[in-house]
Amino acid sequence: MADITDIKSIMYTEKSLALQEDGIIVVQTTPRMTKNGLKEVFREFFGINPLRVNSMRVNGKVKRFKGISGKRPDTKKFYVKVPEDAKIESLAV
C-alpha cells in the first residue's frame, strides 16, 4: 500500500516549473511507488483526483570519492496531470 512517506520531494527545476503552468506536477518518489499508489496518495492527502500519471525510473549514478566507488539511490519520477481548478498549498512558489 502506498504512503505519503514514499514521496521524496516535489521537483522545482526550470523544466518542472514550466510544466506546472500547464497543470503538471513533477514528483520524485521511492522506486516501489506505483501509478495507482500515487493516485491514491493524491486523493487521500491532497484531495485531488489526478487526470493522468506518467512514470519514469531513474537509476542512481555511480560516483567515486577518494578512490572508493559508491552509488546514489535509485528513484522514480512521476508526471502528474491535475485539474485546472486544483490547488495544493505546499506548491505555492
Here the cell at position 40 is 491514491
Domain boundaries, the chain: 4-91
pLDDT of residue 21: 87
pLDDT of residue 60: 93
Q: Which of 58, 47, 62 is nearest to 4 (CA)?
A: 47
Specify the pLDDT at position 53.
Answer: 94
pLDDT value, residue 64 = 94
pLDDT along the chain (93 residues), means of 10: 82 91 91 92 88 94 94 94 77 52
Superfamily of the domain at 4-91: RRM (RNA recognition motif) domain (3.30.70.330)
Q: What confidence score (pLDDT) does residue 46 get?
A: 83
Q: Please give the Cα distance from 87 to 38 (Å, whole number).
A: 17
